[in-house]
Amino acid sequence: MNKNDQHLLSPYTFANGVELKNRIVMAPMTNFSSNPDGTVTEEEVNYYARRSKGVSMVITACTYVTPNGKGFRGEFGGDSDEMIPSLKQLAKGIKEQGAKAVLQMFHGGRMCPPELVPNGEIVSASDIPAEKGGASTEEPAIKPRALTESEVEEIIDAFGETTRRAIKAGFDGVEIHGANGYLIQQFFSPHSNRREDRFGGSLEKRMTFPLAVVDKVQNVVKEHAQSPFIVGYRFSPEEPETPGITMADTLALVDALADKDLDYLHVSLTEFFSTPRRGVDDVNKTRIEYLLETINNRVPLIGVGSIYSADDARKAFETGVPLLALGRELIIDPDWVQKVAEGREDEIVTQIDKSKQEQLVIPDPLWNAIIHTPGWFPGV
């Protein structure tokens, strides 16, 4: 092991006492590989198990908390107690390899493909269609129906219920998915939220739904978890739309979240060292720098974004982030952490090898998405 990697491989303990064996986490990534009924497939469990040996924590692809929140084909469900055996299989596959298993929970809102939700009815904070259409739909934008207040309350409760199922299934934690344009972000965004009730309006009011989900999840954990249970929250720093979330908006949300006794915050970035679009004075300062400054050591931040080599990771850790998530790189090279630990970092593979689907244990639906999406993965 390179002495520069001692920090990267050192343990990290959350405030709740849960210890991670190192600082590298597997980022949540959709894999399109579950059964049509929302149960996980054996291929999916094997895919996660293959990547769970070196990292300290695996954050799964998102699971939907209500039937009308399903955002992808081949997405697994967490919306009913019937799903607990399926979720248990996934948690077991990850934990048996020595990583903590964290279930990411979400509702797709206006990004759901109509064919995947009951009666084809898309819902959101308001009846504003997404400018680029549903990210997962490949069709023109569809006008969603604004949720009623009681429906909003039901969805908040559903996040709590899915948390209870995660506890029962043996997960070590949950991540609330408030990023990537899905429902929680839709309530926070001035683009998608034009409500005039308590869930919309001012910046503070647009935080009502995200913070209510956090409170609900934490209350369920207090009630049902027998041992320390991780609760994290993922967010996207900005939106390209006008009006849309600015860096300043996000810093206000992050400031509120940092006081919520969460175990971690997790930023969603394509490039770790990216700089803000708007809303701050110094656009040359990175988003990570702004976030760390705002958080001010109140809660750990997981950084992410195009980290491929050990050198990329070392540079990222120099910013002061305590934890780093790898996404595409762990699909390309599931043995990344082991290679760093054994001083074999020159053997790390940073481009997808199109001849090694079987050795990489990548299910067909995910493999086909990788191979047919030029520019998504290095080497394609």
Pairing mode, if any, of strands 19-20 and 24-26? unpaired
Report pLDDT for 349: 98
Which member of 47, 48, 64, 182 is catalytic? 182
Distance CA 220, CA 225 (A): 8
- For 122, residues 6+ apart whose C-beta sits below 8 A from its C-beta are 109, 110, 112, 114, 134, 142, 143, 144, 145
CB 108 within 8 A of CB 63: no
Q: Tokens 């050990």 map to which residue?
A: 310
Q: Tokens 């934008």 map to which residue?
A: 141
H/E stretch holding 86 reads helix 84-95
Report pLDDT for 7: 86
CB 188 within 8 A of CB 207: yes
Distance CA 79, CA 224 (A): 17
Angle, CA of 193, 63 and 129, to the nearest 5°: 25
Biggest alpha carbon–alpha carbon distance for the chain: 57
Report pLDDT for 5: 78
Report pLDDT for 133: 67
Report pLDDT for 6: 82
Catalytic residue at 182?
yes
In the chain, what are the helix, strand and coil shares in percent, each to the nearest 5? Answer: 35, 15, 50
Domains of the chain with CATH codes? 3-371 (3.20.20.70)
Listed residue (296, 263, 293) closest to 176, CA to CA: 263
Taking the chain (380 residues) in runs of 10, the rounded mean pLDDT of each run is: 79 98 98 98 98 98 98 97 98 98 98 95 96 65 94 98 99 98 98 98 98 98 98 98 97 98 98 97 96 98 98 97 98 98 96 97 98 94
